[in-house]
Amino acid sequence: MSNNSYTCSLQSLISDVINLTLLSQLDGVVIDNITLDSRQVKSGALFVALDGANTAGQLYIDSAIEQGAVAVLCEQATTQPNYIEYRGTTPIIYITKLTHLLSPIAVKFYQHPQQGLRLIGITGTNGKTTVTQLISQWLEKLGQCTYSMGTLGNGLSRQLVASPNTTLNALDLMANLANAKTLGAKYVVMEVSSHGLELGRVNGLTFDIAAFTNLSQDHLDFHGDMISYAKAKKQLFSAKYAKHAVLNGNDQTALSWAKDWHSENPLSSYNQKLSDASDYVLAREVRYSSEGIEAAIESSFGQGVLSSKLLGEFNLDNLLCAINVLCAAGFELSKILELAPSIESIPGRMEVFQQAKSPTVVVDYAHTPDALEQTIKALRRHCDGRLIVMFGCGGDRDNTKRPLMAQAAQQHGDSLFITQDNSRSEPFSKILVDIERGLGAPNDVVIEPDRRKAVALAIDSAQIGDIVLLAGKGHEDYQIIDNMRFDYDERALAQKIVGRY
């Protein structure tokens, strides 16, 4: 994505961040690109030296200057006043809380890219990706050019570019919004992670509609506890970030927020009609089958029948969330429901691979205890035979969820295969110890560290009528072991093995 069409004076860019005395030292400094990555620095660049997870941004300042950076913004951890130092003739501006100031700086550099776009944000532990993609699909079918941003990538429909994070850093996020505008998008639908909110990545944005799917245990390695995790998510529903809120009426966290709902922005709810909600979307007479879901829709926007090829109760939640958001955006319920049968499943989200004589193989991204439990329960409704579950747990992440995932898999599945996920730098043997704490009697449990072999063993153990759930990788096309990245596409592997039947 090119920054070349954007040029501005450094003084104007950070005039709201530093005082006039410091600004006067930057007269004549013009920048035409801005980056956090020293490897992407070009002549005329502003390099932003922030600390990453594994390295300090200041280590790359000299390299950035050598490559043509005309100025550097640097985060200072102390509470001393902002100041400027020079390396040669290049100013290095040290700014307190730069991480949280970066979003409004990026808004200025990219010339307020949100203007002219309708922005929809989705947050929650599970379902963000699915809801984002469902809304994007529906908007496209409703004739709206739509740009989506999140786990599956960033871009127009069927033109997604891989994303390093669920919610991009502030600079890349604004660059993508500018790109969306250039490509003619009218809507941007974005996953908003708790990390993104807590680290200030969306500080410069206001969402026309913000939606909440659910909250369950995840990311405690970052947030510390569930109260802090919920508090991070809740930020999105303040008037600072959202003009209109959509909450899941079946989620306890959402119910607690709704009890003392502020009047700063209107509230809609799905699954249950919340007392302070001005609008709602409910499903009645729900029927699950091997073909998908059917339900009668009752709402403040009208009534109708929902028919979807998606599987599982939690996908009904995702569909209701998407419908609520689209109705809140002003689209007719009747048209939304008319298009529902044509909405496709999301890659790696309850994605089915099957031949006439094969067992049913489902690839799903479930990688939290709640997501794994809900996925298995959802598939049970569609299963005539045994339900075989394969999963692993990521390394260098919240280890308290590992025994909980094992417990959910063993309690609700009939047969269990344990393998590696993204072990990263952590030995699989250590991860396995945590997983095994959640296991009861080791009946019908197979441990196979090689994920390819584990997939083959799980599918080969099944018969027609059985369902094999391959959980954890979903859409990902890689595996990280010993901090090395290997090509690994579970969807392609499942398709290949099923194709042999």
**Domain residue ranges of the chain, discontinuous segments joined by +:** 8-108, 111-342, 351-498
> 7 by DSSP, 3-state: which?
coil
pLDDT, residue 45, reads: 95
Q: Long-range contacts for 399-404 (Cβ within 8 Å, ≥24 apart)?
A: 399/431, 399/434, 400/217, 400/220, 401/217, 401/218, 401/220, 401/368, 401/369, 402/431, 402/434, 402/435, 402/437, 402/438, 403/434, 403/435, 403/436, 403/437, 403/438, 403/439, 404/217, 404/369, 404/438
Amino acid at 364: D
Q: In the numeric block, which tokens belong to residue 414? A: 């009939």
Say which residue the tokens 């250590």 belong to: 430
Confidence bin at 4 (pLDDT 50/70/90) = very low
Three-class SS of residue 331?
coil
Binned at pLDDT 50, 70 and 90, residue 308 comes out as very high
For residues 55-82, average pLDDT: 89
Q: Domain 8-108 is classified in which CATH homologous superfamily?
A: MurE/MurF, N-terminal domain (3.40.1390.10)
Tokens representing 423 are 């072990």
- Alpha-helical (H) ranges within 86-236 are 98-109, 128-141, 170-182, 194-198, 220-223, 226-234
Cα gap 362→490, rounded to integer Å:
10
Cβ neighbours around 135 below 10 Å, total: 26
Say yes or no to pLDDT of 240 above 90.
no
| pLDDT > 90? residue 209 | yes
| Structure-token pair, residue 64 | 């950035």
Position 442 scores a pLDDT of 67
351 forms beta bridges with 363
**Does pTM surpass 0.85?**
no
The domain defined by 351-498 folds into Protein-Tyrosine Phosphatase; Chain A (3.90.190)
Confidence of residue 220 (pLDDT cuts 50, 70, 90): low
Nearest to 102 by CA among 39, 132, 57: 57
Question: How far, CA to CA in Å, does 290 sit from each of 152, 320, 478?
Answer: 26, 20, 30
> How far is the C-alpha of 151 from the C-alpha of 478, rounded, in Å?
14
Asked if residue 350 lies in contact with residue 126, where contact means CB atoms within 8 angstroms, the answer is no
pLDDT at 229: 86
Question: What band does 54 get if pLDDT is binned at 50, 70 and 90?
Answer: low
State the pLDDT at residue 288. 87
- Residue that the structure tokens 């990026």 belong to: 106
Residue 265 and residue 242 in contact, taking contact as beta carbons nearer than 8 Å: yes
What's the rounded Cα separation, in Å, for the pair 367 and 365?
Answer: 6
Beta bridge partners of 418: 391, 447
Q: What is the reported pLDDT for 218? A: 63
Three-state DSSP at 305 gives strand
If DSSP codes are grouped into helix, strand and coil, which group holds residue 209? strand
Are the C-beta atoms of residues 52 and 106 closer than 8 Å to each other?
no
Structure tokens at 14: 């950070």
Q: What's residue 260's pLDDT?
A: 80
Angle at 157 between CA 179 and CA 112, to 5 degrees: 25
Angstrom distance (rounded) from CA 73 to CA 449: 45
Average pLDDT value over all residues in the chain? 91
If DSSP codes are grouped into helix, strand and coil, which group holds residue 392? coil
pLDDT value at residue 1? 45
Q: How far apart are CA 371 and CA 365, in angstroms?
A: 9
Q: How confident is the model at residue 232 (pLDDT cuts 50, 70, 90)?
A: confident
Contacts for 382 with CB less than 8 Å, ≥ 6 apart = 288, 289, 290, 311, 312, 360, 467
Give the three-class secondary structure for 335: helix
Rank 38-42, 75-79, 253-257, 295-299 by mean pLDDT and report only the highest. 295-299
**Residue 416 DSSP one-character state:** E
Sequence-ordered list of residues with C-beta below 8 angstroms from that of 97, at least 6 positions apart, any chain: 75
Using CA atoms, how far apart are residues 352 and 363, in angstroms rounded to an integer? 7
Residue 416 has φ and ψ, to the nearest 5°, of: -130, 130
Q: What span, in angstroms and rounded, lies between the C-alpha atoms of 7 and 109? A: 8
Query: According to the model, what pLDDT value does residue 157 have?
Result: 83
For the domain with range 111-342, which CATH number is right: 3.40.50.12590, 3.40.50.1980, 3.30.200.20, 3.40.1190.10? 3.40.1190.10
Determine the pLDDT at residue 137.
97
- Give bridge partners of residue 83 from the DSSP assignment: 94
- Three-class DSSP category at 188: strand
Provide the 8-state DSSP code for 346: P
Non-local CB neighbours of 429 within 8 Å, separated by 6+ positions = none
Regarding predicted confidence, which is higher, 268 or 443?
Answer: 268
Q: Which two tokens stand for residue 241?
A: 């970030």
Residues 10 and 30: beta-carbon distance below 8 Å: yes
- Please tell me the distance from the alpha carbon of residue 204 to that of residue 456, in angstroms, as a whole number: 47
* 245 vs 24: CA distance, rounded Å: 43
CB-count burial class (<10 Å; 0-12, 13-18, 19+) for 171: buried
Percentage of the residues of the chain whose pLDDT score is greater than 90:
73
